[in-house]
Amino acid sequence: MEESFNQEILRAQRQQHPIGVIMLDIDHFKQFNDTFGHDAGDYVLQVVAEVLKNSVRGSDIACRYGGEEMTLIMPELSLPAICDRAEAIRTAISQLHLNHNGQNLNTLTASIGVACFPQHGTTPMAVIKAADGALYRAKANGRNCAIVATLS
Q: Write the CATH number for 99.
A: 3.30.70.270
Q: pLDDT grade, residue 13 (50/70/90)?
A: very high
Look at residue 108 in the predicted model and tell me its pLDDT.
93
The domain tally of the chain equals 1
Q: Indicate the residue type of 35.
A: T
pLDDT of residue 152: 63
Neighbouring CB atoms inside 10 A of 151's CB total 9
Give the pLDDT of residue 146: 98
* In the chain, % of residues over pLDDT 90: 82
pLDDT averaged over every residue in the chain: 94
Tell me what pLDDT residue 45 has.
93
**Given 8, 50, 68, 76, the catalytic residue:** 68
Name every residue whose Cβ is closer than 8 Å to that of residue 32 and which is 6 or more positions away in sequence: 26, 40, 41, 44, 105, 106, 108
Range of the domain at 129: 1-151
Q: What is the pLDDT of residues 74-90, one digit of tens each?
A: 999 999 999 999 999 99
Q: Is the pLDDT of residue 40 over 70?
A: yes
Per-residue pLDDT at 20 exceeds 80: yes
Compute the distance between CA of residue 65 and CA of residue 94 in angstroms, rounded to an integer: 21
* Residue 76 is a catalytic residue: no
Position 93 confidence tier, pLDDT thresholds 50, 70, 90: very high
pLDDT tens, position by position, 111-133: 999 999 999 999 999 999 999 99
- pLDDT band at 106; cut points 50, 70, 90: confident
Q: Residue range 46-52: average pLDDT?
A: 94
